[in-house]
Structure 1
Amino acid sequence: MHFDPWSSNDGRDDDPVNLVSRPVCEDRDSREILMLTDDRQKLKDYIDDLSARGNTSIDLGMKWGTALLDPAMRPVVNKMIGHGEVPSRFSLRPFAYDDLETLKVVVLMTDGQNTSQYYIEDDHRSGESDVYWNEQTEEYSIWNKRNGDGNDGLFYWVNNNLWRDHPKGNGHWDCGKEGLRGYPNDLDGDGIENEYFCYEVPNQDDNENGTAVNLSYPELWAYTSIRYNTEKNYYPWMNDSEARSQWRYGVYDTVGSGTKDNRTKAICDAAKTEQIVVYTIGFEAPSGGVSVLKDCASSPSHFFDVDGLEISNAFKSIAQQITQLRLTQ
């Protein structure tokens, strides 16, 4: 998902249609995978245009490198050929593992070590959130389900620090009973929803303009950082620790480096089982990354620990070894 667990600023701060500025997964061209090609210049230009920032996921690099050699990827390749995204000469790729004319090689390089991976928890990945956004006035309203603070079933108008029976911009709901809203509810606790008919009457506030839209969770996180949502939309009316627990640390979780090290090992082992030759390069990598790379390589001689310009020699050596292997086969 497109989300930001760190920033205290909101994507809407600069422009109401801006996505969050520091997402875990960036949708930038400079971070995309380049699928199969034998165009040397295109490959070099693509590498020159790559940008690196954020956390390190050696497991994901190895996963994609191995997947692009797996015959199970062939339907995907053919579909991309049909879309003009991969040259037609790759229609039989990836070749079978037992193809005697084929040598499969992965070169895995890192300058780091596996770090934490962030993800949105299942109960906040889909469906409607409690947050409403009025694009015309650029304001949030928050529905308080059942907080037990006397404002259950009401909407908090963030910019006004007021409680109302509707999100700002959606007029007034007349339900015949105070506190009830115009869609499924069971605020009196008898287990029956929709027992009151509600209808909308004109706006009751002179300064109430625009229309508030209920945001789905993917929409909310794409435009509103998790920290901003917690601090600006919930802190003003919730207990701070409760707000943090529910709307910050209760929204996302992490996968630690140890788990990612084990994932990397599993992928490397699976690749080597299929006779894929695995070279690894640690470019000024810390000890944690070096350990993972050593374990992943096909043999100790397939691992290179390099600094500075030594990396050029490592790639030359790998190229020579691959050429020799091809000649031998």
Structure 2
Amino acid sequence: MKWALIGASRIAAGHMIGAFRAQPGGEVTAVLSADARRGAAYAEEHGIARSFDDLGTLLAEADCDAVYISTTNEKHHDQALAAIAAGKHVLCEKPLAMSVADAVRMVRAAEEAGVVFATNHHLRNAGAHLAIRDLVASGRLGRILSVRVFHAVNLPQALRGWRITDAGAGGGVIPDITVHDADTVRFHLDEDPVEVVAQMTASGLGQGVEDSVMSVWRMPSGVMVSTHESFTHPFAGTGIEIHGTEGAVVARDVMAQTPQGSVTLVYADGRHDVPFETHDLYERSMRLFEAAVRGEGRPSADGWDGVKSLAVALAVREAARTGAAQTIDYGV
């Protein structure tokens, strides 16, 4: 498969270009940057044949089957619709859009055009999370009672740009991290949150956007979920706990882009280490994406997964803004 990058981003350089090229015959043929000089330098650095500063020209001239969108959040909607209209398959970074309605339009447009549309929710590709999901689905934990997600990190200096300063571009910890946790909880429990309450604050980095948030979600089954996301916690670590009537899973340092951390199964007779695969998260995601293009299964996270994670994140923000519980509107 031949890919074009819409956005000369750090995540494309650090993870996605390698994942595309790791697939049989995989190529990255073009990159788009609004800054032509930056785009040309990025293309040269990463061995990409062509760079463009106009999306329409790229879609008309670049030799590509699919596009990967990793621009700032407010650009995703229009760029995805243009790519879909050009007949390209689309992998889009989270959150898909600035509103649930826009995200739904993107996914429906792809369905009508007959192209594959996926959301780059990487965590559900991690060996640790696949092992956790298997434990939950197997019933070994009994009836699930609660989930606790802690995803409070120290935002790297290199990322302290629009994420902490520009609400109009989709900045803030909620669209950056809460949206991932929403997808991860949905992945493990196989159900969608119904209602949320939350509080948020700017605790050291946020300049016009929130940089820390805590929320509690109610699931249809009655499971209670609590989450904590932050850009300002250098010593907190990350993880997820799932507690049931017969046992619990306690996972540490697994909310990452690399295959790391530990998963422990806790029973009455003690604690048991759970082995898991240590494959590259993004390479697995791309294998499933390309299989979906061939008509074999679905992407690891499709467009509707992206819609639903966005809906949860936006409900968390509205609950924190208003101080009132919010019923989640999934737009469908």
Q: Tell me the TM-score normalised to structure 2 length.
A: 0.23
Structure holding more helix per residue: 2
Structure holding more strand per residue: 2
| Structure with bigger RCO (C-alpha 8 Å, 6+ apart) | 1
